[in-house]
Amino acid sequence: MIKIEQNLTYFPQILKKIKKGYRMPYLYGTVLNPHNGRKTYTAKKFLVDTGASISILNSSFNDLFEDEKTPIIEKMKIQYGGSSPELPVYNVKLKIKGFEFDIVAVYDKGLKTPYSLLGHFKFLNNFDHFGISKKRNKFSLIKDTTHA
Amino acid sequence: MLKYKERYDYILGILYTLKRKRQYGFFSLKDIIEHLDTMSKPGEVYEIARYLEAEGHVRTLYSPGDVFVEITPSGIICIEEKDANFMSAFEDFLVRQELKQQVEKAVSKLSEAKVKASRKPIIDEISEIIKYLNSNKILKKSDVNIDAKILKFELQKMIPDREVISIKLSKMGEFSELSNQIFQLKEYLYGYLDMDY
């Protein structure tokens, strides 16, 4: 059984004029590029995004791919609001709370958000359950490995 | 001077040494970092804890001003698999830092007293803000002064409410006269609150 449970991160307001707080499901993880052995030596922040079809790594992962020798699985058009750049897709290893996942992720060197995204393909699809408990202020990802 | 990557190994090495001395439980990561020969800023203790936690080497308890960590079996294996060169350099480090015989005295265990001590710099910072606000007749009765007092009370609890801290910090941040002091507070608290500057 793989169980990843984390507190939701609370933000006191989303708009300056409306004092209304909200909570977001963030996780911290390290990423390894298995092709060149480069890894992140700080934990990177990821938003668990149920609206994302695939995971997206932001510009902070530049060190992992700067040699430009890592095989690109394919190029994929990513739809952000008004723009849809075509971006490279890589195989990477993601480690969260000691659990390692082989994921496929888009790398967007132009993405300057302070977090990356964890989407469905090869990440959320790994799990049997993804749940948010507002009452407990936690979210959890569970995978039953007994039938694997 | 330790390389950044070496710091992780030395932190785990100290936690491993404590475990071998039959010292069980959660230990102050801030205390451990203070014994490494590198300067650290207030929020760095959270960055280091998040890395070690992501790698599965420690379990964590986050508190304003410190993170208390316990080594996991994966952390123990990580140290036991290190080569002889690392172990020898680490032994030298323990001797140099006078930690060899009394590491358990140098690194505090999770306790109410330790939690209070680690929050002192933050509470002192808020006390300064309250002192400044009290010195002004109008600001003395302002909402921002009450928010500062609530924040101080909240941080005196063993398990403070993150939401209360976030809300009060955000409200105080709107008060431009305090921008420098609030910046200091954010340095201490944003890592704990998991917020970005």
pLDDT single digits (tens) B70-92: 999 999 999 999 999 999 999 99
Residue A17 contacts B, CB cutoff 8 Å: no
Q: Do A43 and B50 touch (CB under 8 A)?
A: yes
Report which secondary-structure segment, H or E, holds B87: helix B84-96
What is the predicted pLDDT for the residue at B51?
Answer: 96
Q: Is residue A148 part of a domain?
A: no
CATH number at residue A25: 2.40.70.10
Contacts of B47 in chain A (CB under 8 A): 42-43
Nearest-by-Cβ selection for A10 from B4, B53, B163: B163
Per-residue model confidence (pLDDT) at position A148: 55
Q: How many domains does chain A have?
A: 1
- Write down the ipTM of this complex: 0.92
Out of 3.40.720.10, 3.40.50.300, 1.10.10.10, 2.60.200.20, the CATH code matching B4-110 is 1.10.10.10
Q: State the pLDDT at residue A21.
A: 85
| Cross-chain Cβ contact B162/A43 below 8 Å | no
Helix, strand, coil shares of chain B as percentages rounded to 5? 65, 10, 25
Q: Across all residues in chain B, what is the average pLDDT?
A: 91
Q: Please give the interface size between A and B, counted as residue pairs whose CB atoms are below 8 Å apart.
A: 56
Is B3 an interface residue toward A (CB < 8 Å)? no
Under 8 Å between Cβ of A43 and B51 = yes
- Chain B residue numbers with beta carbons less than 8 Å from the beta carbon of A114 are 196
Query: Given this model, what pLDDT does residue B105 score?
Result: 85
Q: How far is A11 from chain B (nearest CA, A)?
A: 7
B72 in contact with A, Cβ within 8 Å: yes
Q: Regarding predicted confidence, which is higher, A61 or B196?
A: A61
Q: Specify if A51 maps to a domain.
A: yes
Task: Collect all residues of chain A within an 8 Å Cβ-Cβ radius of residue B50.
Answer: 28, 42-43
Rounded CA Rg of chain B: 19
- Of A88-92, A118-122, B100-104, the one with minimum mean pLDDT is B100-104
| Position A14 confidence tier, pLDDT thresholds 50, 70, 90 | confident
Contact between A38 and A105 (Cβ < 8 Å): no
Structure confidence at residue B195 as a pLDDT band (50, 70, 90): confident
pLDDT tens digits, B146-185: 999 999 999 999 999 999 999 999 889 888 888 888 888 8
Contact call for B54 and A43, based on CB within 8 A = yes
Instruction: Say if residues B181 and B148 touch (Cβ distance below 8 Å).
Output: no
Contact criterion met (CB below 8 Å) for A121 and A53: yes
Give B1-41 pLDDT, tens digit per residue.
778 888 999 999 999 999 999 999 999 999 999 888 666 77
Task: Collect all residues with Cβ–Cβ distance below 8 Å to A92 and sequence separation of at least 6.
Answer: A31, A32, A33, A34, A57, A64, A102, A103, A104, A105
Q: Is the pLDDT of residue B196 over 70?
A: no
Q: What is the pTM of this model?
A: 0.92
Domain range for A137 is 2-143
Which pLDDT belongs to residue B179?
85
- What residues of chain B lie within 8 A of the CB of A41, using their CB? 4-5, 8, 51
Which residues, including other chains, have CB under 8 Å from residue A15's CB and lie 6 or more apart? Answer: none
Name the band, by pLDDT with cuts 50, 70 and 90, for residue A95.
very high
> How far, CA to CA in Å, does B113 sit from each of B66, B119, B163?
13, 10, 24
Q: Is the dihedral of CA B110, B112, B115, B120 positive or negative?
A: negative
Cα torsion angle, A30, A33, A39, A42, sign? negative
Compute the average pLDDT of residues B113-135.
94
What does the pLDDT average to over B136-154?
A: 94
Q: Do B54 and A10 touch (CB under 8 A)?
A: no
- Report DSSP letters for B120-163, one per residue: HHHHHHHHHHHHHHHTSHHHHTSHHHHHHHHHHHHHTSSS--HH
Q: For residue A147, what pLDDT is reported? A: 64
The answer to whether residue B197 scores a pLDDT higher than 60 is no
- Determine the distance from the C-alpha atom of residue A146 to the mean position of all C-alpha atoms in its chain, rounded to a whole number: 25
Residue type, B63: S
Is there a contact between B56 and A99 if contact means CB atoms under 8 Å apart?
Answer: yes
What's the rounded Cα separation, in Å, for the pair B194 and A13? 15
